[in-house]
């Protein structure tokens, strides 16, 4: 299958491209490289440009004639979205609209959309199920939900879609030649490992008075390669049955910030200094996915369900590439 991967030079996108290659598919990448890295695209063709430019997409689709699209390209910083919401509507919602219009022009009928647990807002229950209320607390989650709703109306064009709502992606490819490199870095595991490498003085724990066993926030961490495999399974299912659906992707278990630090100390053999700071506004105490739907309907079987193995893969990447792709 020839698959166009938007945002395929980014963290999750580049790992999805790698898994598509391993599965024998034929991926191509479109990315404006505003956050992605050219060095993360090792084999597949990379088209550099803006999805909002119809001439650019027309050139890409004319040359490549993809059978399906996996759509990662988006801005994803919660704090930034609160400060500049229109940027998120422009770069997330409008970009997705332009992509869908080009798909219609070239009769591309399948799309997998990279969504987020931020669509739920404060969880109605733990673990979170796909049919739970979606009441986002920030423009990032709101724009992702708006795209989900836009996709649901595209049934009139006979477009079949799969929405994948991620929880906390982490880890790196088994070859350790691609991994997580954001600027600024906001994700817990790479920040912890950067601290272990001496790139940071200490890690800040934002709040230790939550109603959790050790007082720190609990999150569901899923290996980026397992996330990537789910996209391929979603494409295969859509081609087989033509049914659109929404799936949570997580391990259905959670770890606290303190537990992540402790596990990272075990993996790295280093003491990782930290300090406690006040809570951040809007951080729920606990976010855990109920992902049995993906397991049963997609036959999705995560390979890295032990957080130690997830952190170990990330540590190999960060240790070998302390400055990321630079």
Predicted pLDDT at 308: 97
Predicted pLDDT at 159: 98
Per-residue pLDDT tens digits for 146-157: 999 999 999 999
Neighbours of 208 (CB within 10 A): 17
In contact, 29 and 8? CB cutoff 8 Å? yes
End-to-end CA distance of the chain: 32
Predicted pLDDT at 94: 98
Predicted pLDDT at 283: 85
Predicted pLDDT at 230: 98
- pTM of this prediction? 0.97
Structural domains present in the chain: 2-170+222-249 (3.40.50.720), 188-219+252-320 (3.90.25.10)
Strand partners, 205: 276
In contact, 120 and 145? CB cutoff 8 Å? no
> Does pLDDT of 81 surpass 90?
yes
Predicted pLDDT at 281: 80
Predicted pLDDT at 280: 85
Share of the chain above pLDDT 90, in %: 97
Give the residue-averaged pLDDT of 71-75. Answer: 97
Predicted pLDDT at 57: 98
Give the residue-averaged pLDDT of 7-26. Answer: 98
Per-residue pLDDT tens digits for 251-282: 999 999 999 999 999 999 999 999 999 998 87
Q: Over the chain, what is the mean pLDDT?
A: 97
Give the residue-averaged pLDDT of 49-75. Answer: 98
Q: Among residues 71, 72, 85, 58, which one has the least CA distance to residue 154?
A: 71
pLDDT band at 160 (very low <50, low <70, confident <90, very high): very high
Q: Give the Cα separation of 307 and 38 in Å (integer).
A: 29
**Catalytic annotation on 11?**
no
257-268 and 307-320 helices, crossing angle to 10°: 60
Residues near 177 by beta carbon (within 8 Å), at least 6 away in sequence: 42
Q: Among residues 166, 164, 314, which one has the least CA distance to residue 251?
A: 166
Per-residue pLDDT tens digits for 161-213: 999 999 999 999 999 999 999 999 999 999 999 999 999 999 999 999 999 99
Predicted pLDDT at 36: 97
Task: Please name the residue ranges forming H helices in the chain.
Answer: 11-22, 54-64, 78-83, 85-88, 95-105, 139-153, 188-196, 224-241, 257-268, 292-297, 307-320
Per-residue pLDDT tens digits for 95-141: 999 999 999 999 999 999 999 999 999 999 999 999 999 999 999 99
Predicted pLDDT at 304: 95
| Lookup: tokens for 257 | 């910030």
Catalytic residue (one of 47, 110, 120, 140)? 140
Q: How far is CA 255 from the centre of its chain?
A: 18
């Amino acid at each position: 299958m020839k698959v166009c991967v938007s945002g395929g030079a980014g963290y999750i996108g580049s790992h999805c491209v790698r898994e598509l290659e391993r599965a024998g598919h034929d991926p191509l990448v479109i990315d404006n490289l505003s956050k992605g890295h050219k060095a993360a695209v090792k084999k597949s063709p990379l088209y550099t440009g803006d999805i909002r430019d119809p001439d650019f997409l027309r050139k890409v689709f004319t040359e490549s004639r993809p059978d399906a699209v996996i759509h990662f390209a988006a801005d994803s910083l919660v704090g930034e979205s609160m400060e500049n919401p229109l940027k998120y509507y422009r770069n997330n919602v409008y970009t997705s609209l332009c992509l869908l219009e080009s798909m219609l022009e070239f009769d591309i009928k399948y799309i997998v959309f990279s969504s987020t647990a931020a669509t739920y807002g404060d969880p109605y229950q733990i673990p979170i199920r796909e049919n739970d209320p979606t009441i986002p607390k920030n423009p990032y989650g709101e724009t992702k939900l708006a795209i989900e709703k836009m996709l649901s109306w595209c049934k009139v064009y006979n477009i079949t879609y799969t929405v994948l709502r991620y929880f906390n992606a982490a880890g790196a490819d088994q070859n350790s030649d691609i991994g997580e490199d954001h600027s600024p870095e906001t994700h817990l595991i790479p920040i912890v490992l950067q601290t272990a490498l001496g790139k940071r003085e200490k890690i800040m724990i934002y709040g230790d008075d939550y109603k959790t066993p050790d007082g720190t926030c609990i999150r569901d961490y899923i290996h980026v390669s397992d996330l990537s495999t789910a996209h391929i399974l979603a494409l295969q299912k859509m081609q087989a049955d033509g049914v659109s659906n929404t799936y949570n992707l997580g391990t259905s278990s959670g770890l606290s910030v303190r537990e992540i630090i402790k596990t990272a100390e075990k993996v790295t053999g280093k003491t990782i200094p930290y300090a406690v700071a006040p809570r951040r506004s809007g951080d729920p105490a606990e976010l855990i996915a109920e992902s049995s739907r993906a397991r049963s309907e997609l036959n999705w079987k995560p390979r890295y369900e032990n957080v130690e193995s997830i952190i170990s893969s990330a540590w190999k990447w960060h240790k070998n590439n302390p400055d990321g792709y630079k």
